[in-house]
A and B are shown apart, each in its own frame.
Chain A
């Protein structure tokens, strides 16, 4: 089982470290051949416009879309969920694979970044709340019928699942709670 972290820009090393703590060694993915070689992929936090730009210049956008469409297990956080969203506000290109409408920086600029308690769905196990680190976070405005919500900040869905895609508007990789990572790694094990 080979786990990749998209390492074009962003906190991919924090993801690799969090996966290692949860029992999965991860490798950086920067090119199309490296993308081909992995059985699961993390789309990390960072700047979505930067990642889109680098995906396009590396001719990776279509390859990434095809792999996710055909069932590649994905863990996406913050910028990652923006890359996947069907619709982004304000409008920008995206892979349109996750049936949500998402608004960028919707809680405000950096001054609104905060560590907030997230209410966790029962199927995550280990207690009813988890620590949510929100950094210039996007906000989910709509979820489609195929999307299951696994975490809430107040009434806002912040942890979502659709098929093999697990996506958060916050940063589980910046906490010691590894429930999200473990769920992702189980998916990869199960997909083979």
Chain B
């Protein structure tokens, strides 16, 4: 893999610009405007937020074309959109729509249970979810320019995001203390491309920015993700399923900037109204867990 390829550099470059920011799920232009005014670094256009997908069921697909266009017309910040895992046609349409980032997302119903999109030939960058380092490096191997830990979308429960962030960080740290003789065995264990395993061992980080997602409902949740090594945070249902989306969105934006300052976090977290109601992950069957989609 050529990390110096100009196309790959500008893909990762946009991910760099989003660091320290909050990317917010929106389903309408009005929500996108609220997100931008609250300080979102980007918005994610989708048909339904994960909490609704969970309740309503049915097949979750790419957002309607007119909805994406409307959101693009309304805000000046980057507009991302989700395609189904392995849905090459949706991905190509999103590129033709000139979205700024494509999220090949487990939140939508997978189109291919075996293969993810081969992302290198696209000019538009991709972000993909992961639960561990091996999954992250497989996606980077396919061309993802940003990784986000999956968490459990639409749950309002941070426990899965923490599990995935911890797993990735622990596996990265482990690689840095192994010697060269041990790396191929690690590549086999992680089921990841050897050269990417070697990169992580040498640099102590992923070759692309590492964001967090799934279950963020409060400023404290966002701060926790940053403490565990996330470089930015995606918030889905947590904002527009809460009592006061604009105020909560603004607070989460500030929490991602000031995560190291508990006094500020206290100040930020006062007077936000009710958060979204959460789900006990233990009550979900494995089939109900969105994070199990993809591999």
Contact = CB atoms under 8 A, between A and B. Distances in A.
B10 A78 contact: no
Interface string A1-21: 000000111111110000000
Nearest to A12: B20
Interface stretch (A65-73, A111-119, A178-186): A111-119
Interface in B1-59: 6, 9-10, 13-14, 16-21, 36-42
A47 B77 contact: yes
A134 B6 CA distance: 11
B98 interface: yes
Contacts of B77: 47, 49-50
Q: How large is the interface on B (under 10, 10 to 19, 20 to 34, 35 or more residues)?
A: 35 or more
A28 B135 CA distance: 32
A187 interface: no
Interface stretch (B103-111, B214-222, B251-259): B251-259
Interface in A45-97: 45-47, 49-50, 53-54, 57, 78-79, 90, 92
A50 B41 contact: yes
Contacts of A11: 16-17, 19
Contacts of B6: 114-115
Contacts of A78: 17
Contact of A53 (B13, B100, B253): B253
Given A53-B38, A53-B253, A9 B14 contact: no
A105 interface: yes
B253 A113 contact: no
Contacts of A104: 76
A171 interface: yes
Interface in B208-267: 250, 253-254, 256-258, 261
A79 B72 CA distance: 19
A136 B14 contact: yes
B141 interface: no
B20 A49 contact: no
A interface SS class: loop
A174 interface: yes
Given A50-B253, A115-B10, A10 B17 contact: yes
Contacts of A92: 76
A113 B125 CA distance: 11
A54 B257 CA distance: 8
A10 B21 contact: yes
B16 A9 contact: no
Nearest to A8: B257
A147 B14 CA distance: 28
Contacts of B250: 53, 57
Contacts of B72: 109
A47 B13 contact: no
Among A108, A111, A174, the one with the most B-chain Cβ atoms within 10 Å of its Cβ is A111
B34 to A, nearest CB: 13
29 contacts: A7-B20, A13-B19, A30-B257, A30-B261, A46-B21, A47-B17, A47-B42, A49-B39, A50-B21, A50-B77, A53-B37, A54-B257, A57-B254, A92-B76, A104-B76, A105-B76, A110-B78, A111-B95, A111-B123, A111-B124, A133-B9, A133-B10, A133-B13, A134-B10, A135-B14, A135-B17, A136-B100, A171-B13, A174-B9
